[in-house]
Each structure stands twice: as C-alpha cells, then as structure tokens.
C-alpha cells in the first residue's frame, strides 16, 4: 500500500465522538487499531508523548476544530497528490517505494520520516496544512530523506544532518523542477538572498560543530524559528543544498544518483569549502 489514507479512519472516529461515543474508545477502535503498527511508531517517534498522557489528550479533542480540514479533504484527492509525488520520485533513484501515511494527529510536523516494523515510512500530518498545493513537494522532500537513510549510514553529527537536508531539497527539486527553489526550501527569495550574503560567516560559525552533536542540538540551524547566533532560521538546509549540488557537479552525476545520495557528508562539505569559486 504505497499510500495509506489513514485520515479517513480518523474522521470515522471523530464522527462517532460527535454522536456521543467515548473519545478514547472511539479513537482506539476506529483509528488506532486499524493502523496499529503505524500509529504506535508515530506516537513513539514523532509525538514523543508518554502513552499514559495520550487518552486525556484525545478526550480534549474538539471535532469542530477539524471542520476546515474535513472540507479541504472533501474538495480534493489528497491521496492522488501523494501518488503523483511517488510516481515522480521512484524513477529517480530506483528504490522500493516507501509507504506514505496520510495522518491526522495533535502535534504532527508537516512531513516526516519514521520507522515502522523495520521499514522507513513517510508521514504527512494533514492537520498542519492550510492548503494541499505543496503537499507533493513535502512527499518528494521526505523521499529524499528516505533514499539517504536506505543508502547511507544513520546521521550522527550536525554535518550529517546538514547534508541530509541538502540531499532532500535537491531530490525534491529534481522531482519538481518546475517549482521554485524557494518553495522547496519553504523560504522567501529574500531569506535565500540573506543567507547567501552571510554564507562565509555561517560556515565559519558552523565548522567547529560539524563533527559533533546533530541537528537537534542546534535549534535554528535546520528546524524551527530560532536564530542560532543571530543568523537566519533554518539556514542549514540551504547550505547543505549548495554543497550537495557542487559535489554532484564536480563528479558529473545527477544529484539523485545513488553515489551522490550515499556519499560521505564530510567529503561533500570538505569539497565545497575547499573550492572558493563554489561560494
């Protein structure tokens, strides 16, 4: 099942709650149990909430809060958008397709990669979307992360995370070349220009940290709205993208080739920083 429309069962549970069913019982019977492996991994790896706290959170859900999302889902085929993205991505790298789970949660990221019964899956948190026009780009971005996790070692350092994010951006751009880079980065063109102007100082600040920690140890470098050391938020993905593109061009290979996706992050960054003409 390349696309799992689990959100339909969420709304079945929501309908039962509106008819007077106990929220936790309906959620378990109609949404959790039909997708138990996915949901359990989702709770543990994405929500990161203690199991004993979840029933009360579910009982606090208000069905009316999901009315706008329901209308959006009724107006278009979100599953078809996800399938379109898979159809574009699969030929680029030739790996078995990951399952895309279309979920509704409480605290989901827009899109994420998580492990279900030993396989890497893509998750989409539909409650985060005000429009589905960019949903295929989110799927393509996570497909890039999926390919990296299948072909390379688990990211352990900040440098690994920066390269992995750069690969994901470059992969999505290859799948949807007609969409502007700003869309793939989820940034304004002005923010991209600001990061470009600051690039030498950004790398100078990052270099002592590239072999230590990971992206979560440096909020604002890859995720969130925090300005690490005063720099623009989430600049790491753009730096990684530039480094990955330069590495692929130097080797004369497309960014979606397995050798590029699997390449050592330190080698990618070192080559980029050693070439003054690259920046």
DSSP state of 212: S
- Model confidence at 145, in pLDDT bands (50, 70, 90)? very high
Reply yes or no on whether the pLDDT at 271 is more than 70.
yes
For the chain, the structural domain boundaries read 3-151, 158-278
Report the pLDDT value the prediction gives residue 1, as an integer from 0 to 100.
Answer: 66
Beta strands in the chain (DSSP E): 3-4, 100-103, 111-116, 119-125
Phi, psi of 260 (to 5 degrees): -75, -45
pTM summary value: 0.95
Among the ranges given (50-54, 78-82, 160-164, 180-184), the one the predictor scored with the smallest mean pLDDT? 50-54
Reply yes or no on whether the pLDDT at 277 is more than 80.
no
> Cα dihedral sign for 35, 106, 134, 194?
negative
- Model confidence at 279, in pLDDT bands (50, 70, 90)? low
Mean pLDDT taken over the chain: 94
Report the pLDDT value the prediction gives residue 47, as an integer from 0 to 100.
Answer: 83
Report the pLDDT value the prediction gives residue 48, as an integer from 0 to 100.
Answer: 80
Beta-carbon contacts of residue 76 (< 8 Å; ≥ 6 apart): 132
**Rounded CA gap, 224 and 171, in Å?**
22
Report the pLDDT value the prediction gives residue 131, as an integer from 0 to 100.
Answer: 95
Among the ranges given (22-36, 109-123, 204-218), the one the predictor scored with the smallest mean pLDDT? 204-218
Reply yes or no on whether the pLDDT at 88 is more than 90.
yes
Beta-carbon contacts of residue 268 (< 8 Å; ≥ 6 apart): 163, 166, 243, 244, 247
**Structure confidence by residue, pLDDT tens digits, 148-201:** 999 998 899 999 999 999 999 999 999 999 999 999 999 999 999 999 999 999
């Amino acid at each position: 099942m390349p696309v799992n429309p689990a959100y339909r069962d969420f709304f079945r549970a929501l309908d039962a709650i509106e008819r007077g069913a106990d929220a936790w019982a309906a959620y378990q019977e109609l949404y959790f149990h039909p997708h138990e492996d996915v949901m359990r991994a989702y709770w543990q790896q994405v929500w990161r909430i203690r199991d004993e706290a979840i029933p009360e959170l579910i009982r606090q859900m208000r069905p009316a809060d999901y009315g706008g999302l329901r209308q959006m889902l009724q107006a278009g085929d979100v599953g078809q958008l996800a399938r379109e993205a898979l159809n574009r991505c699969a030929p680029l790298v030739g790996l078995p397709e990951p399952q895309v789970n279309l979920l509704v949660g409480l605290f989901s990221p827009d899109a994420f990669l998580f492990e279900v019964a030993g396989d890497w899956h893509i998750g989409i948190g539909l409650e985060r979307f005000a429009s589905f026009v960019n949903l295929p780009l989110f799927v393509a971005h996570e497909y890039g992360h999926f390919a990296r996790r299948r072909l390379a070692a688990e990211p352990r350092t900040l440098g690994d995370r920066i390269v992995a994010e750069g690969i994901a951006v470059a992969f999505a751009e290859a799948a949807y070349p007609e969409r502007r880079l700003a869309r793939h980065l989820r940034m304004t063109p002005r923010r991209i220009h600001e990061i470009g102007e600051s690039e030498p100082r950004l790398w100078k600040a990052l270099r002592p940290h590239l072999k230590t920690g990971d992206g979560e140890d440096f909020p604002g470098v890859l995720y969130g709205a925090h300005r690490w050391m005063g720099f623009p938020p989430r600049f790491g993905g753009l730096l990684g993208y530039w480094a990955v593109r330069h590495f692929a061009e130097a080797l004369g290979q497309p960014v979606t080739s397995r050798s590029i996706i699997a390449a050592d992050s330190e080698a990618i960054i070192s080559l980029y920083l050693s070439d003054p003409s690259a920046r």
